[in-house]
Amino acid sequence: MTLRYAMIGGGQDAFIGAVHRKAIALDSCAEFVAGALSSTPERSIASARSLGLAPDRSYGTWQELVEKESNRSDPVDFVVIVTPNDTHHAIARACLLAGLNVVCDKPFTITSDEAKELHKLATRNNLVCAVTYTYSGYPMVRHARELAQSGKLGTIRRVFVEYHQGWLSQNIEQSGQKQASWRVDPSRAGIAGALGDIGTHAEHLARFITGCTPTEVSAHLTSFVDGRILDDDASVHVRAENNVHVTLTASQICTGEANGLSIRVYGDKAGLVWKQETPETLTLIHNDCSRTTYTRGMGNLSPIATSSTRVPAGHPEGYIEAFANIYRGVCDQINAVRTGAAETDLAGVVPNAHDGYLGIRFVEACVTSSKNNGEWTSL
């Protein structure tokens, strides 16, 4: 069944909203029918018009959208929230209270208490509440998870995960760059900068693949660029469940790096490497120092990796397909819940509100540790 969705945020000038829409369009699994796309009613309605929404579903504010959609006989099946971080909680809360399924951008909320509340609300109302940790949508990341959790690496000991960008190595927020401005502003971004914006992706990636949740952290957050209040660089040593140690670094002042997310996981039998900028391959490192590289779309991959793909090996897929895989999971889940075939648990591969909560809790512990000179801090 083709579903219908609304979007809050993502109007003209926004970047990520268009990506969400393209990802959903790719597989035609949901139709875009309603929106409250900007922070002012005028711009919201102008954006809705330019994107072809019907006038009666082109809303001026998110409050109006939630109220009117939930009172229609044919409400949207889910709401996509792509606003700045500080508004996620109020919007998601309103949607869940109104009985609307939610897909929310990360970081999920400002505080972990807010995230916990949303998770409880979704569970109680039997609603889907997904968080777009996009990178877990890549087929080879899903295959990495299978390899790691099926024991192919032996006992997992050591993880190196990093997310390095360079676009904030200069003070571009002072010249009004929109994407930069809100990310460096504590009132909109929350208590962390690079750590919240991209470090949470790294944290989720490591947890998604290994299955081990962080238990304590020793963190050092730094602001390299003059006048910046929040961190633009973070270095965290993590102890996770099952005695897994993780070195996590997130930085937005690595000049010249575009979107350098990568992970290496070592067990006592083998290791693996995956790099987001070349996402089609996954390399297994054997004990004898030989390496085997698997390619998306080839035979002999795990079912979850195989079902997350559209074109044959050698015809590259990328970021939009990874995003689309998250949405496929969301749509499948909504349909399954509707037909009574499943709970709203998202079956493990689609990140949910609990994952969002763990991400915020991680940020909070790191900020505390860094203030205490890197002291080990429990989550």
Q: Residue 83 is encoded by which pair of tokens?
A: 């606003």
Cβ proximity to a second copy: between 94 and 193 the closer is 193
Q: Which helix (H) or strand (E) is 180 found in, with range?
A: helix 178-183
Q: Could you tell me the smallest distance in angstroms from the CB atom of residue 119 to a second copy? A: 28
Peptide bond into 107 cis (omega under 30): yes
Total residues at interface with a second copy (CB under 8 A): 82
Q: How far is CA 340 from the centre of its chain?
A: 27
Site for a second copy contains 327 (CB under 8 A)? no
Q: Could you tell me the smallest distance in angstroms from the CB atom of residue 333 to a second copy? A: 22
Q: Could you tell me the smallest distance in angstroms from the CB atom of residue 157 to a second copy? A: 5
Q: Among residues 266, 274, 357, 362, which is the contact residue for a second copy, using CB under 8 A?
A: 266
Q: Among residues 46, 172, 285, 336, which is the contact residue for a second copy, using CB under 8 A?
A: 285
Q: Among residues 68, 310, 332, 336, which is the contact residue for a second copy, using CB under 8 A?
A: 310
Region 140-159 residues binding a second copy, contact defined as CB under 8 A: 153-154, 157-158
3-state secondary structure 84-148: CHHHHHHHHHHHHHCCCEEEECCCCCCCHHHHHHHHHHHHHCCCCEEECCHHHHCHHHHHHHHHH
Site for a second copy contains 315 (CB under 8 A)? yes
Cβ proximity to a second copy: between 168 and 353 the closer is 168
Region 80-139 residues binding a second copy, contact defined as CB under 8 A: none
Q: Among residues 53, 122, 202, 253, which is the contact residue for a second copy, using CB under 8 A?
A: 253
Contacts of 317 (CB under 8 A, 6+ apart): 139, 279, 280, 296, 297, 309, 310, 311
Cβ burial, residue 158 (10 Å; 0-12/13-18/19+): middle
Q: Could you tell me the smallest distance in angstroms from the CB atom of residue 42 to a second copy? A: 24
Pairing of strands 101-104, 78-81: parallel
Region 175-214 residues binding a second copy, contact defined as CB under 8 A: none
User: Which residue in the block uniquely carries the two structure tokens 């961190």?
Assistant: 231
Site for a second copy contains 270 (CB under 8 A)? yes
Q: Residue 234 is encoded by which pair of tokens?
A: 């973070």
Site for a second copy contains 226 (CB under 8 A)? no
